[in-house]
Amino acid sequence: MAGTIAYYSVRVFTQSADEIILPELTGKNIIYVLETLTSMGLNAKLHGTLYDDKIPRHNVISQDPKPGATIKKGRDVIIYISKGPKENSVPDLRQIPFKQALILLEKNEFKKGYVSFTYSSKTPKDYIIEQYPVPFSFALKESFCHLLVSRGANPIGMVMPDIKGLRLEKAAAIIKNHNLHISEIISKKDLNKDKGTILSFTPHYGSYVTGDTPITLVVNSPENNKIMDPDKLSRVILVTYSLGPGFLKQHVKVETDMFGPIIDLYNEYMKPGEDINILVPSGIHTEINIFIDHRFEKTIIIDPWKEDNNTGDMNLWESLPLQFYQPILPGSVKN
């Protein structure tokens, strides 16, 4: 009888407690959740915080019991709070190359934002001057990092010199002495002008130019609309001609027009089997005539407007095949 009485007493007591249907708390702000649970007579128990890319910071990620469950007043509701999306430390990209900066951004889970360029005397060309967000701050993964990139020192402006009518090699020397650069050389035929002279150029004489200004030269040539690589103006070609066998010295005379009027490069006696070595600028149309013992031997024509389809090097057009031809690149050791 005592047991029966105790059983019914507990049952009556538990049935008398109010039962509540638990609402949806996920995604709600923690302040709102605490006020709601308190007003319903429930106890909020915080069991931890987690990073979540979808649930904002300080909002509920999950709850136990689940929404819709029946719970009595005075019971506990377990909740987890969001710390928001995970943030990474922004790497220091200052004073490093632009390409390397992009690799570091990707490695740290950031994206390239706006890229701006400006001149700087303190930061080398194509290096990072500044960034945003600033180094070592924290930002969301996959967020954008904006970069300011150096164009190098601010170029000094000057007036474009007058090079019209000059030979190509002299005009190129003047441009180089002004710290300017040639971007394109185009041929044009003019029978009234000397071969290899400048017919026109852009920017025009008197224009404001800097070291970054592209300069185009139009040069007198037998053919129109040919293109010459400006790098040829800084290279030379070694042409070698070997004398035939014999017992007596031979009189050797070598004529060329590489400097304008025809001049003698060689005019002396040489032993049989010796080599005639001639360094010829690769960017100048040059004709070389070789005479042995006052007898015409051969003509070598170097045409900078012709390209070799296989190697990209210049062809040497001559009356007979060359015995030796080798281009010499800048920086090579020359005997």
List, as one string, the DSSP characters of 188-232.
Answer: E--TTS-TTBEEEEESPTT-EE-TT-EEEEEEE-SSSS-EE-GGG
Closest among 148, 18, 20 to 77, alpha carbons compared: 20
3-class secondary-structure state, position 154: coil
CATH of domain 160-228: 3.30.10.20
CATH, domain 87-150, list 3.40.50.150, 3.40.1550.10, 3.30.10.20, 3.40.50.1780: 3.30.10.20
Which of 10-14, 39-43, 68-72, 235-239 shows the lowest per-residue confidence on average (mean pLDDT)? 10-14
CATH 2.60.40 fits 233-328, yes or no: yes
Token pair for residue 131? 């960034």
Q: Measured on CA atoms in the order 262, 268, 269, 270, is the torsion positive or negative?
A: negative
**Which phi and psi (to 5°) does residue 236 adopt?**
-130, 160
Q: What is the pTM of this model?
A: 0.50
Secondary structure tally for the chain: helices H, strands E = 4, 24
Residues 159-179: tens digit of each pLDDT:
999 999 999 989 999 999 988
Calculate the alpha carbon distances from 230 to 182, 183, 227, 289 in Å.
6, 7, 9, 26
Question: What are the residue ranges spanned by the domains of the chain?
Answer: 15-82, 87-150, 160-228, 233-328
Residue 328 parent element (H or E): strand 324-328
Number of CB atoms found within 10 A of residue 328's CB: 14
| 305/230 Cα distance (integer angstroms) | 11
| 82/2 Cα distance (integer angstroms) | 51
Calculate the alpha carbon distances from 308 to 278, 305, 313 in Å.
21, 10, 5
Strand partners, 218: 186, 200
DSSP 225: S
Residues 199-224: tens digit of each pLDDT:
999 999 999 998 889 999 999 998 89
Domains 15-82 and 233-328 belong to one CATH topology: no
- β-pairing, 198-202 vs 144-150, is unpaired
Give the percent of the chain with pLDDT over 70.
Answer: 87
CATH 3.30.10.20 fits 15-82, yes or no: yes
Task: Tell me what pLDDT residue 246 has.
Answer: 84
